[in-house]
């Protein structure tokens, strides 16, 4: 990211993150990666899709006005671990649908799956 773009992001209060799923080997890896990126509140249970899904449909602790989350290499998981692929795919679709349908949200959230 060039300096001009960084300044623009800071000025516009945008939180943008890319999460590369290529190296995720199991659900525990996924939960850890998500927690490392989003710094979930203390109530997050680090071994539960339900808890992860609750946190990802909240995001109120993120202060920026706009949130852009890009998930990369999802299809890579399908070849390596189909159950993990299905679990993560279901969660990502849940987040995307939730934020696309959300009328009353503090954050303008966009979920991109590549």
List the domains of the chain with CATH numbers.
Answer: 21-113 (3.30.370)
Q: How far apart are the first and last CA of the chain?
A: 19
DSSP 22: G
Cα dihedral 74, 75, 81, 86 in deg (nearest 10): 70
Tens of pLDDT along the chain (114 residues) come to 444 454 455 556 889 999 999 999 999 999 999 999 999 999 999 999 999 999 999 999 998 889 999 999 999 999 899 999 999 999 999 999 999 887 655 558 999 999
What pLDDT shows up at residue 44? 95
What pLDDT shows up at residue 62? 92
What pLDDT shows up at residue 90? 97
Closest CA to 69 of 110, 41, 28, 107: 110
């Amino acid at each position: 990211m060039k300096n001009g773009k960084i300044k623009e992001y800071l000025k516009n209060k945008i939180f943008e993150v890319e999460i590369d799923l290529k190296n995720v080997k199991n659900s525990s890896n996924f939960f850890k990666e998500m927690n490392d990126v989003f710094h979930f509140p203390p109530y997050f249970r680090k071994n539960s899709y339900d808890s992860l899904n609750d946190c990802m449909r909240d995001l109120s602790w993120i202060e920026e006005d706009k949130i852009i989350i890009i998930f990369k290499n999802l299809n890579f998981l399908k070849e390596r671990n189909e159950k993990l692929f299905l679990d993560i795919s279901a969660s990502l679709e849940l987040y995307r649908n939730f934020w696309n349908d959300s009328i009353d949200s503090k954050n303008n959230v966009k979920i991109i799956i590549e």
